[in-house]
């Protein structure tokens, strides 16, 4: 695993939630395999990864509805669960919000929000009112859930989950049932509320944009393991491997063999630090980083930052709304590459252009 950030260095504050070396196997297959991470109060950590990588299973163990085969769960510096000792789910002060959240249809909105609260009837009503005002739904306090829209119901569910002031919120794809426009608003509202309450949030998603938008820290998971842990910027700009690049965007790949600590490509030489001579490497970069120039017919001059430009023929160009996607074939080698550029740029098929690859945007990995 590549750790970009020191999350739990000696002398740093106690994490609200810490899981250590969690393992869960079904039928001999480890679907959660030695997962460790921390979440600080008022912060959001995202478990991000493809379907089946073990995100929900990790969450269920933290919630206490499923037992781990190995590993420990700590809250505010106290052990709450290992393979012997176990605080029951209802005593963990953990709030849950899942995609298929269900409000109780026979209870009013106010009663739904008050459901998990203790105290007098008046106190519960007051807290329910407070939470509903925070999500701008106080006017519905005496209505029944089925008279609310999907987005409104989701906000009630959020108010209900946060009403008992959980120390930790576990959210499993809670926004995936909403349309884009609603989703942005509810996400922002959710974040603001949880920061205010100093709740630690562990959010599961398989959407990179959602993780980038919401997380203070991303734990990128694959096959039950955390393959990279760090701030969104670090995970995006210093990916651990080719799959980590590909998870966030489309990729271009140039294959090469290292000789004299350099990898030779149609775009000139690339430094290949840490890769011994003879290693097959892949130079990986995102389509938005391919630079496009008009071919003025002069021999293109190499530069230290972008190497040698290569001639390429446009095979296809499409406008995607915010950007244009252009597909190229390199003239000399036939290698296919993709570029995205902001706004409208739709060169005709067959147009010859010059491409450059900025070295500081490339990742060199051993070929897998
Ligand atoms: N009770 C179970 N018995 C057997 N296998 C299970 C059980 N629960 C989950 N699995 C398997 O464990 C793996 C991880 O499942 P999990 O639900 O944690 O994935 P996920 O990352 O949440 O995926 P998704 O994004 O699709 O929700 C999957 O291969 C799943 O089929
Ligand atoms: Mg899941």
Domain boundaries, the chain: 2-93+166-246, 249-366
Going by CA atoms, what residue is nearest to atom 16 of ligand 1? 54
Give the chain's residues under pLDDT 50.
3-7
Going by CA atoms, what residue is nearest to atom 4 of ligand 1? 26
- Six token digits for residue 339: 């570029």
What pLDDT, on a 0 to 100 scale, did the predictor assign at position 10?
A: 60
**According to CATH, what is the number of the domain 249-366?**
2.40.50.140
Q: pLDDT, tens digit, for every residue of 156-179? A: 998 999 899 999 999 999 887 777
DSSP string for 197-248: TT-EEEEEES-HHHHHHH-SEEEEEETTEEEEEE-HHHHHHS-SSHHHHHHH
Distance CA 163, CA 184 (A): 22
pTM for this model (two decimals): 0.88
Identical fold between 2-93+166-246 and 249-366: no
CA of 326 to the centre of ligand 2 (A): 35
Q: Which residues contact 164 (CB under 8 A, 6 or more apart)?
A: 93, 95, 116, 117, 118
Atom of ligand 1 nearest to the CA of 49: 21
* β partners of residue 271: 262
Ligand 1 pocket (Cβ < 6 Å) reads 26, 31, 49, 51-57, 206
What pLDDT, on a 0 to 100 scale, did the predictor assign at position 144?
A: 96
Query: 2-93+166-246 sits in which CATH class?
Result: alpha beta
Would you say 68 and 22 are in contact if contact means Cβ atoms under 8 Å apart?
Answer: yes
What pLDDT, on a 0 to 100 scale, did the predictor assign at position 9?
A: 55
Distance CA 325, CA 319 (A): 6
CA of 55 to the centre of ligand 1 (A): 8
Compute the C-alpha angle 187/57/67, nearest 5°: 130
Write out 242-300 in H/E/C secondary structure: HHHHHHHCCCEEEEEEEECCEEEECCEEEECCCCCCCCEEEEEECHHHCEEEECCCCCC
What pLDDT, on a 0 to 100 scale, did the predictor assign at position 189?
A: 83
Distance CA 48, CA 236 (A): 12
Mutate to test the pocket of ligand 1, among 29, 32, 47, 57 (most ligand atoms within 8 A of CB): 57
């Amino acid at each position: 695993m590549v750790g970009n950030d020191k999350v739990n260095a000696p002398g740093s504050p106690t994490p609200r939630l810490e899981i250590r070396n969690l393992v869960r196997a079904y039928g001999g297959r480890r679907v959660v395999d030695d997962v460790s991470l921390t979440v600080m109060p008022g912060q959001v950590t995202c478990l991000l990864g493809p379907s089946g990588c073990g995100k929900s299973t990790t969450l269920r163990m933290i919630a206490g509805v499923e037992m781990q085969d190995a590993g420990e769960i700590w809250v505010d510096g106290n052990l709450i669960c290992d393979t012997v000792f176990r605080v029951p789910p209802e005593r963990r002060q953990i709030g849950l919000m899942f995609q298929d959240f269900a409000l109780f249809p026979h209870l009013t909105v106010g009663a739904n929000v008050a459901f998990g609260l203790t105290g007098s009837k008046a106190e519960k009503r007051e807290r329910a009112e407070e939470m509903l005002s925070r999500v701008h739904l106080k006017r519905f306090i005496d209505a029944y859930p089925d008279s609310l829209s999907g987005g409104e119901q989701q906000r009630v569910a959020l108010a209900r989950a946060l009403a008992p002031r959980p120390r930790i919120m576990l959210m499993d794809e809670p926004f995936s049932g909403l349309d884009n426009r609603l989703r942005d608003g509810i996400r922002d509202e959710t974040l603001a509320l949880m920061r205010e309450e100093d709740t630690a949030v562990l959010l599961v998603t398989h959407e990179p944009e959602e993780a980038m938008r919401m997380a203070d820290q991303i734990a990128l998971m694959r096959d039950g393991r955390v393959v990279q842990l760090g701030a969104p910027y670090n995970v995006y700009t210093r990916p651990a491997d080719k799959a980590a690049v590909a998870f966030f965007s489309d990729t271009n790949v140039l294959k090469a063999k290292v000789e004299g600590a350099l990898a030779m490509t149609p775009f000139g030489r690339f430094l290949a630090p840490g890769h011994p001579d003879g290693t097959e490497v892949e130079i990986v970069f995102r389509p938005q980083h391919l630079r496009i120039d008009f071919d003025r017919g002069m021999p293109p001059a190499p530069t230290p930052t972008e190497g040698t430009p290569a001639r390429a023929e446009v095979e296809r160009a499409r406008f995607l709304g915010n950007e244009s996607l252009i597909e190229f074939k390199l003239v000399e080698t036939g290698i296919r590459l993709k570029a995205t550029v902001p706004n409208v740029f739709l060169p005709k098929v067959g147009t010859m252009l010059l491409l450059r690859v900025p070295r500081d945007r490339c990742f060199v990995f051993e070929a897998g």
